[in-house]
C-alpha cells in the first residue's frame, strides 16, 4: 500500500513539476511579447493639393458727396445702375448681384467742427457685391474696372470690410484622397525607420488626423488655394 502511494505521489509531483515548467515558459514568452509590443514609432504624413477657388465675393464700393440730399440719392442710383449694367455685360446675373443700403453721413449733424470748412455737407458710400461661382469671370472683370472710371465712377480701394474673397468650399470632395495620401506617406516614413533600426513594422497602434488648412498659394493669386493636412500615426515595431 505504501509503495502504491509513493508511486502516485511521484507521478503527481512529476506532473506538477512539468506544469510549472510549462507555465514558466508561457509567462516568459508572454512577457517578451508584451515587451515587444511596447516598441513603437510615431510618424507624420503630409498631403498637399493646389485647387481653384469655387466661390468669389467681389465688393465694388463707391463714394458720393453733395450738399443736396435728393441729388445725392439720385447720383447714387445712377451710378449703381451703371455698375450693375457693367456687371451684367460681363456675364453676371441679377441673383449674383446685391446692393447695400447707402451709408449717409451728415457732417453738420455729426458735429465735424465748422461745417462751412467742408465743400459738401453730405457724403455717402454704397457697395455692390457679386457673389458667384464664376471665379474666372470675376478675375477678368476686375481688369476692366477702368471702364467704370471712364464713366465717372471711382471704385474705392479695398479695405478690411470690403475686400475681394476667393473661397474653396468643396473640401469634402478631396478629403478621402488626401487622407489616404497622408497615411501612405506616414507609412513610408515608418517603414524606412523600421528598416534603419533592423526592425519590422507592425500594425497601427493609434492614429490621428490633423485639421485641414486652406490658404492662398500666394498673395498675387488668391483664387488658387493650397489645401494641407498632416496625419500622425503610431506603429508597433518588432524584431
- Cell 457673389 locates to 131
Architecture of domain 55-167: 2-Layer Sandwich (3.30)
CATH number among 3.30.110.170, 3.30.230.30, 3.50.50.60, 3.40.718.10, domain 39-54+169-239 = 3.30.110.170
Q: Where do the H-state alpha helices sit in the chain?
A: 2-37, 69-89, 107-110, 135-142, 146-150, 171-196
Average pLDDT score, the chain = 85
pLDDT at 3 (0 to 100): 60
pLDDT at 37 (0 to 100): 53
Residue 50 to residue 124: CA distance in whole angstroms: 41
Is pLDDT above 80 for 160? no
- Cell 511521484 locates to 10
State the pTM of this model.
Answer: 0.75
Residue 126 to residue 100: CA distance in whole angstroms: 6
Residue range 26-40, pLDDT digits in tens: 444 443 444 445 688
| Bridge-based pairing state of the strands 40-52 and 103-106 | unpaired
Amino acid at each position: 500500500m505504501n509503495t502504491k502511494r509513493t508511486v502516485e505521489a511521484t507521478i503527481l509531483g512529476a506532473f506538477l513539476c512539468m506544469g510549472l515548467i510549462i507555465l514558466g515558459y508561457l509567462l516568459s514568452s508572454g512577457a517578451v511579447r508584451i515587451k515587444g509590443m511596447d516598441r513603437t514609432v510615431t510618424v507624420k504624413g503630409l498631403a498637399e493639393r493646389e485647387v481653384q477657388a469655387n466661390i468669389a465675393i467681389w465688393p465694388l464700393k463707391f463714394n458720393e458727396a453733395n450738399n443736396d440730399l435728393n441729388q445725392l440719392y439720385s447720383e447714387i442710383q445712377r451710378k449703381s445702375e451703371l455698375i450693375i449694367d457693367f456687371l451684367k455685360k460681363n456675364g453676371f446675373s441679377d441673383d449674383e448681384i446685391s446692393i447695400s443700403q447707402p451709408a449717409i453721413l451728415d457732417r453738420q449733424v455729426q458735429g465735424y467742427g465748422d461745417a462751412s470748412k467742408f465743400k459738401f455737407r453730405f457724403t455717402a458710400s454704397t457697395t455692390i457685391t457679386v457673389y458667384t461661382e464664376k471665379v474666372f469671370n470675376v478675375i477678368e472683370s476686375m481688369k476692366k474696372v477702368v471702364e467704370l472710371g471712364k464713366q465717372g465712377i471711382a471704385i474705392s480701394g479695398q479695405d478690411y470690410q470690403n475686400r475681394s474673397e476667393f473661397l474653396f468650399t468643396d473640401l469634402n470632395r478631396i478629403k478621402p484622397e488626401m487622407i489616404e495620401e497622408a497615411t501612405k506617406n506616414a507609412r513610408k516614413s515608418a517603414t524606412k525607420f523600421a528598416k534603419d533600426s533592423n526592425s519590422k513594422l507592425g500594425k497601427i497602434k493609434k492614429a490621428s488626423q490633423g485639421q485641414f488648412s486652406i490658404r492662398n498659394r500666394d498673395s498675387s493669386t488668391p483664387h488658387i488655394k493650397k489645401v494641407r493636412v498632416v496625419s500622425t500615426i503610431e506603429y508597433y515595431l518588432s524584431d
